[in-house]
């Protein structure tokens, strides 16, 4: 007898065509993937032994969504709205996703940023139901056995965090799994990867957050964080188990500290099908915004001078992606690196300082800069002025650090400066869009990490694009899975950036918009998946899709057919009995 009450009936593309009920009756109502609530038809109720278990009049999915939207609106704050949507997912995953799809712009702010940061902080007090896997030193040696519990779900994507670098709020211990939950809901919304194929995983190696260590209600492993060899062994043990159980699944590393993010990404580039969204996804979406800016300015990347203010995982990830794109435009590595400046809390990153390894590539030789005589010359304003910066990117988490003199200096360097204050949440943004437009007299091109309302300046409305990784990672994941890529390459993210940028319409460009609206997420994700899949095939790392017998035969049109066919939409699937 199967250990689960349901299985899958697949179509030709590897998509779930129907759910197979191993058991009938009330069990189908208690599983969130098989439950349809009041939407079970009268015929289904009879066939599935649910007759009498529900009120006699069925309610359509559309009516269920409308009722749920009313209930969400009645909640007092976004934390309560998050709890409602997650509880609905735990009861009826299809309905929850149909609700989110009905207004993706509105609900994305509840299931992910900015609300998810508060959810991470309050995880132990608002806990309702366990989701995903929590590995900790007490069970990591049994990681393979634990993962095998989920084999029946045909896991295709896992989002994995060690909870240390959560958004702009740092170490949140066990609460970091809420980030994984949110990201996977966006995988479903954007890429159409069915929720039962998604797995959130927390690597709970402890916490150095003193409030959590002192909290008697904290649900995580209440010890200081593992470090050094103990930490490395823990991650290695997980990686071995994951590869053994889900060799074809995508592993997305999420919200690791900057010290560990690069080391782990680099360690498993070839051993797992994996990438780090904070590094590579951030780099790709930022490049997408800049590529749109290049079309508006009618200029090329290789003619720009870039400054990344904030040399953490996201900042250096952006610098890496810019370098990859500049190499593709024909620059040598030396020429590309020369056009990219990075700043950290001590100012300009230079080679005469003791540096973390991940910062070394973009460190500048002080003697090569005629204007640099001492560390005092490495402040933000000095670098903008003396290096002639034309693209300014903020990932520092230092609110309002792009001051009026800095913005005006950018405007003096180029007719259309590109200024991207990307730090989250809103109070950490490096500059407000209204100030940017005022100080550049409306000439700047800008996108932000947090959502902002349109800005009015001199009788004109300036929409503010949000530079959100959600436009990148779902499509990258789907492109990797459908192409059968055995590794995730930097070129995939360059392809993704170009695909996202191409989705900005000519009319939007005239308004200064650098990225597409979030309402087009599903369409953007489709094009990203196509671009990534074609890149994988062209570079000979894409083979037969691991989750389907469908042959794409290295043909872009066949690949497009596979991508379209594999995507799940939040609609109720047929449930057939195993008889």
Residue 212: both structure tokens together: 């959590």
**Dist CA 24 CA 19 (whole Å):** 12
How far does CA 393 lie from the centroid of its chain?
19
Size (the chain), residues: 579
**Dist CA 145 CA 248 (whole Å):** 18
Is the Cβ–Cβ distance between 351 and 365 less than 8 Å? yes
Residue 291: both structure tokens together: 């590529």
Q: What is the DSSP letter of 572?
A: P
Is the Cβ–Cβ distance between 156 and 250 less than 8 Å? yes
List of long-range contacts for 547-556, beta carbons under 8 Å, 24+ apart: 547/14, 547/154, 547/156, 547/248, 547/481, 548/10, 548/12, 548/13, 548/14, 549/12, 549/14, 550/12, 550/13, 550/14, 552/482, 552/483, 556/530
DSSP characters over 278-322: IIIIHHHHHHHHHHHHHHHHT--GGG--EEEE--SHHHHHHHHHH
Can you give 199-234 as a three-state secondary structure string? EEEEECCCCCCHHHHCCCCCCCCCCCCCCHHHHHHH
List of long-range contacts for 346-351, beta carbons under 8 Å, 24+ apart: 346/375, 346/378, 347/375, 347/378, 347/379, 347/380, 348/372, 348/375, 348/377, 348/378, 348/379, 348/383, 349/311, 350/375, 350/378
65: number of Cβ within 10 Å: 20
Counts for the chain of helices (H) and strands (E), in that order? 24, 17
Residues 6+ apart with CB under 8 A from 311: 319, 342, 343, 344, 349, 359, 362
Can you give 353-389 as a three-state secondary structure string? CCCCHHHHHHCECHHHCCCCCCHHHHCHHHHHHHHCC
Q: Which of 33, 107, 183, 428 is catalytic?
A: 183
**Dist CA 486 CA 304 (whole Å):** 34
Question: Which DSSP helix (H) or strand (E) runs through 494?
Answer: helix 490-502
Short-list 267, 266, 361, 264, CA closest to 311: 361
Residue 122: both structure tokens together: 């309050």
Q: Which of 33, 107, 112, 358 is catalytic?
A: 112
112 is catalytic: yes
**Dist CA 452 CA 437 (whole Å):** 13
77: number of Cβ within 10 Å: 9
**Dist CA 385 CA 403 (whole Å):** 13
63 is catalytic: no
- Point out the residues that are catalytic: 112, 183
């Amino acid at each position: 007898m199967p250990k689960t009450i349901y299985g899958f009936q697949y179509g030709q593309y590897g998509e779930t065509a129907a759910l197979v009920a191993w058991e009938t009756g009330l069990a189908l109502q208690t599983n969130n993937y098989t439950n349809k609530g009041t939407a079970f038809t009268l015929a289904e109720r009879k066939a599935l032994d649910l007759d009498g278990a529900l009120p006699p009049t069925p309610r359509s999915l559309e009516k269920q969504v409308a009722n749920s939207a009313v209930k969400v609106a009645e909640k007092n704050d976004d934390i309560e709205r998050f709890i409602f949507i997650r509880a609905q997912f735990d009861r009826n995953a299809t309905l929850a996703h149909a609700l989110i799809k009905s207004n993706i712009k509105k609900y994305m702010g509840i299931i992910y940023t900015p609300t998810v940061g508060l959810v991470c902080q309050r995880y132990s007090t608002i806990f309702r139901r366990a989701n995903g896997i929590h590995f900790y030193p007490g069970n990591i040696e049994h990681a393979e056995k634990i993962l095998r519990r989920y084999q029946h779900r045909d896991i295709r994507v896992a989002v994995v965090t060690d909870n240390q670098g959560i958004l702009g709020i740092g170490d949140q211990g066990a609460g970091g799994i809420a980030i994984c939950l949110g990201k996977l809901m966006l995988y479903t919304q954007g890429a159409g990867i069915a929720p039962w194929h998604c797995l959130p995983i927390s690597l709970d190696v402890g916490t150095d957050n003193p409030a959590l260590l002192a909290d008697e209600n904290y649900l995580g492993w209440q010890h200081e964080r593992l470090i050094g060899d103990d930490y490395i062994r823990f991650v290695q043990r997980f990686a071995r188990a994951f590869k053994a159980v889900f060799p074809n699944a995508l592993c997305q590393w999420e919200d690791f500290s900057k010290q560990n993010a690069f080391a782990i990404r680099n360690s498993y580039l070839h051993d797992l099908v994996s990438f780090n969204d904070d590094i590579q996804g951030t780099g790709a979406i930022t490049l997408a915004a800049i590529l749109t800016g290049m079309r508006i300015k009618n200029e090329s990347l290789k003619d720009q001078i870039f400054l990344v203010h904030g040399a953490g995982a996201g900042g250096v990830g952006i610098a890496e992606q810019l370098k990859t794109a500049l190499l593709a435009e024909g620059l040598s590595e030396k020429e590309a690196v020369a056009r990219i400046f990075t700043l950290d809390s001590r100012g300009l990153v230079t080679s005469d300082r003791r540096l973390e390894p991940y910062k070394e590539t973009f460190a500048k030789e002080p003697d090569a800069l005629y204007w640099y005589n001492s560390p005092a010359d490495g402040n933000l304003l000095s670098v903008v002025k003396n290096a002639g910066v034309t693209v300014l990117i903020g990932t520092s988490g230092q609110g309002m650090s792009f001051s009026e003199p800095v913005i005006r200096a950018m405007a003096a360097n180029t007719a259309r400066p590109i200024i991207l204050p990307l730090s989250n949440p809103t109070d950490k943004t490096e500059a407000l869009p209204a100030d940017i437009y005022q100080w550049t007299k409306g000439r700047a091109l800008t996108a932000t990490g947090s959502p902002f309302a349109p800005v009015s300046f001199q009788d004109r409305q300036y929409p503010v694009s949000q530079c959100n990784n959600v436009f990148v990672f779902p499509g990258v994941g789907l492109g990797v899975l459908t192409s059968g890529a055995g590794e995730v390459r930097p070129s995939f993210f360059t392809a993704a950036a170009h695909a996202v940028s191409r989705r900005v319409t000519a009319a939007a460009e005239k308004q200064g918009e650098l990225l597409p609206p979030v309402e087009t997420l599903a369409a953007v994700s489709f094009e990203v998946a196509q671009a990534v899949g074609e890149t994988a095939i062209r570079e000979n790392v894409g083979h037969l899709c691991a989750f389907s017998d469908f042959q794409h035969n290295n043909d872009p049109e066949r690949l497009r057919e596979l991508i379209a066919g594999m995507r799940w939409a939040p609609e109720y699937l047929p449930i057939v009995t195993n008889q």
